[in-house]
Structure 1
Amino acid sequence: MKFSKPLIHICLSVAASCAAFSASAQTAIYSLDSTAVSAFGAGSYGKVTLTQSFSDVLVSVSLRNDLNFVDTGSHSAFSFNLGGVSSASDITNITFANGLGSVFGVSSGTTNAPFSKFTYEINCVSNCVSGGSGGGYVDPLSFKVHNVTLSSFNQLSTGHGTAAYFAMDVINGHGNTGTIGAISAGVLAPVPEPETYAMLLAGLGLIGSITHRRKQKTLTA
C-alpha cells in the first residue's frame, strides 16, 4: 500500500513530536549518599531529581522519612552547582511542602561544610520561622531553572572539603542537625513511556482514519 505525501508528512510529524517529547522529558537522579553526622545513620538520605522540560530544568528534592530541611544560618538549606546561568533570577518557583510562611531566595557562592564551595544556595530570606529548626521544612523542595540542561548540574563543588553535586542542611526527629550531600554522579532515568506511546498511537490513529476514508471513497466511486 502506498501512502500519499500528506500521510507521509503526518507520519514524520508524529515521529518528530515523539522525539521532541523524549528529549524534553529526560530525567537525572542523584542519591543523597554522604554525611558526617553519625546520628543520621546509614544512607540513602533522599534524592535530587532533575527533569528536562524543554529549555528549563525542574528540580525536586525529597528526603528520607525521618529528615526535614532546616535553615539554621550556619549551613545552607540547599546548595548546588550550576553552569550556564547568568544570574540567580533564572532560578524561580522555590517552594517547600510546608514553607511555614517563609520566603526563600537564591544567592551565589557558598561553602556548605563539610562539603566544598557551591555556585548557588537557597535560604530563607524573610519570615523565617526560627530558622526552620522547630521541626524543619518538609520536603519536597522544588524549583525551576530556566535555559539550562541536565548537564549544567553535573559538576562537583570545588575548594576545601568533600566535593559534591548537591548539599543541604537537615534535621532528624531527635533534633540532630547537619549536612547531607550527593557525591555520586546522577543516573539518567528512562523517558516516561506512556505519554510517548499515547502521542504515537494518536498519530497512527489519525493516519488509519484518513486511509479508511480514502478507501471508502474509492469503493463508492
Structure 2
Amino acid sequence: MTYLKQIAAALALTGATLAAHAADISLSPAPIDLTDGVGLASRLITGNNSGNTFADQYTFSLSGVSNVLADVYSFSGNAKNGLDITGFSLFNAAGTLVSSGNQLSTGQTDQWVLDLGKLAADNYYLQVSGSALSKSAGSYTTNLSVSAVPEPATYGMLLGGLAVLGLATARRRKQQ
C-alpha cells in the first residue's frame, strides 16, 4: 500500500511540474479596424512554445446597432502540429460574456464561428483561446464582418418612395 502511495505522489509531482512549464503567451493586439465593415487580425506563434496557452483579445467598437459575423481559422500540417483553438468568444468592454462561438472543425483545421445577428453600439473584444501543440510554428486568422441595421425610418422612406413611384406609373397609364 505504501508503494502505491509513493507512485501516486510521484505522478502528482510530475503532473504539477509539467503544468508549471506551460506559459501564458497571450497578447492584446491593436484594435481591429472596421472602416470598410470588415476587419482582419492574425497571429503567428513561433516555435518552441509547445504546451503554452493563449487567450488573445481583439477589441473593436460599434457606433450603432449592427449585424456581426466573426470567425477564426487555423490550419496545421497535421493534428499534432501548430495550434489547437479551444475557444472563440465575444465580450463587452466590462468583460461580460456576450456569446460563445461554435466549433465547426478541429484537428488539422480548427474553425470557429460567431453569428451574432444584431449587436448594440458599444465597445467589445473577441477572445481567441488555445494552445501550441508542438515546437513547430502555428498561426490563426480572425475575420470580423459588420453591417449596419437599417432604422425603421429607412423602411418608411422606402415604402413612401415605392408608393410615389406607383402613383406616377398609374397616372402615366391613365393619361395614355
Please tell me the TM-score bracket, short chain as reference.
Answer: 0.3 to 0.5
What is the TM-score with the length of structure 2 in the denominator? Answer: 0.41
What is the TM-score with the length of structure 1 in the denominator? Answer: 0.35
